[in-house]
A = this chain, B = another copy of it.
């Protein structure tokens, strides 16, 4: 334990970051959760996250906690919102700045750590009871995710660098929870002029191989419109 004490003339809340990391597993939208090792809410499932270091950027904190608790890194984070209801944490007043992020399917192997007894993917419709107000946070993240599908390019974040149009369509279908017409989908995606053929093809079974595509400007994977 740190022997030093930090003294302020007015009470200060604690600040944490939490991350809602989505992926698609077996055609199901899933969220990464950790099992809490310590109180409060010990052994309950929660979002990965933790306290902000005093000289650390908010987004760096979110990335660091994600890395520490789950071993996952190299992911684009977007700020989701800040939660600060006075009683949301029983220990002290805590303001949580939340982020959401997407990961390619089956790309990541979460692992346990010092703060997390376990880390695992949960289908969004089969979430366990969650610590703090994390159920509410996930809810907001899911709404935001679906809303952004229409006007952003976030769907590509759920795919590897090169992908087939069928894979891309499948991402949309899972997120929107409805079947899409193949020809219309391809027409619309190609009309947006954000992906190009790689020239390669991919075989995914005993059938015709598919052309693979990649995003034209990789830096644009999250830009609005």
Contact = CB atoms under 8 A, between A and B. Distances in A.
Interface of A: 1-2, 4-15, 51-52, 54-58, 79, 81-82, 84-86, 93, 95, 97, 147, 224
Given A2-B9, A57-B86, 10 more contacts: A2-B10, A6-B7, A6-B9, A8-B12, A12-B54, A13-B15, A56-B86, A58-B84, A58-B95, A82-B97
17 contacts: A1-B9, A2-B10, A7-B8, A10-B14, A10-B51, A12-B12, A12-B15, A12-B54, A13-B52, A13-B54, A15-B15, A55-B86, A57-B85, A58-B82, A79-B82, A82-B97, A95-B97
Contact of A82 (B4, B12, B54, B82): B82
B15 A6 contact: no
The complex is assembled from copies of this chain, and their number is 2
A115 to B, nearest CB: 15
Contact of A6 (B2, B12, B82, B86): B12
Given A55-B86, A82-B58, A93-B55, A10 B6 contact: yes
Q: Which of A54, A82, A85, A97 has the most CB of B within 10 A?
A: A82
B10 A13 contact: no
Contacts of A52: 13, 84, 95
A147 B11 CA distance: 37
A56 B95 CA distance: 11
Contacts of A1: 9
A5 B7 contact: yes
A4 B7 CA distance: 10
